[in-house]
Amino acid sequence: VTMGALAVLGVLVAPVREFFLLAWPTTSTWLAILIGGGAAVAGIQAVGVARWIGRLTSRVSKE
Tens of pLDDT, residue by residue over 1-44, are 788 887 787 777 777 667 767 777 889 989 999 999 999 999 99
**CA atoms of 39 and 28, how far apart (whole Å):** 16
* Entry pTM: 0.55
Q: What local confidence, expressed as pLDDT, does residue 44 receive?
A: 97
∠ CA 11-3-9, nearest 5°, is: 25
Query: How much is the pLDDT for 16?
Result: 67
> Looking at the predicted structure, is the pLDDT value of residue 47 above 80?
yes
Q: What is the pLDDT of residue 63?
A: 62
For residue 39, the model assigns a pLDDT of 96
Map out the domains of the chain as residue ranges: 24-63
